[in-house]
Amino acid sequence: MHSDASAITAQERLGWILKSTFGPKNLSAGIFVSGWETWRNMPVEYGPHWDGYAKRYGMRLSVGGTSNVVEAALGSVWGEDPRYRRADGQPVGRRLTHVLVSTFVTHNRDGDPMPAYARYIAVPSGNLLSNTWRPDSQTTPSNVRVRIGLGFVARVVSNAFSEFFPDIREHIFQRISTTPSPASADNGHEEISSYHKPN
């Protein structure tokens, strides 16, 4: 575990690329996003079938992976840390603000806040580069602008998941651990019954 003020290492930077691209959070999101696009048949060149679904899923991975590599590589030049830092323990409103702000602000080598310059470059460049392997219907300037905007929206959603899912998971596990099993409930009933049994 790294402290909030620790500088990211080259190994951690590579780990961030792999986790952000192939981690369960991103892969799971791709299932729903690709399914929605297949249902709406966007882009039309891929068609509304399983082959089109696979192409959409692969497209999403390639664009995200390209953006992640660009962000991590450029950020290493001036010490920009791409990792999300939770505001655990803060009020919910402040944590929601932190989720939004962290989409555009990151930290330098000293742990101080700084604009996420590498991200500002990576999201647009990843989408522009993907025009070389996208269908023609998705390479128009208006489509590129929409995709860039959605790229930052996706970062907000990712930050929100990273911020709140650990709390949700902990709450669920606590409820499971404190819920009595049927066997223990039966034993408790038998003990109460025997206590009130007349002599």
What would the pLDDT profile of 95-104 be if each residue is shown by its tens digit? 999 999 999 9
Quote the domain boundaries for residue 163.
Answer: 10-173
In a domain, 182, yes or no: no
Q: What is the pLDDT of residue 187?
A: 53
In a domain, 40, yes or no: yes
What is the C-alpha to C-alpha distance for residues 199 and 197, in angstroms, rounded to an integer?
7
Domain count, the chain: 1
In a domain, 36, yes or no: yes
In a domain, 185, yes or no: no
In a domain, 180, yes or no: no
In a domain, 164, yes or no: yes
Q: What is the pLDDT of residue 4?
A: 47
Sign of CA dihedral 171, 177, 179, 181: positive
175 confidence band (pLDDT: 50, 70, 90): confident
Q: Which residue has the higher pLDDT, 177 or 16?
A: 16
160 confidence band (pLDDT: 50, 70, 90): very high
Please state whether 26 falls in left (phi above 0), alpha (psi between -120 and 50) or beta. alpha
What's the length of the chain? 199
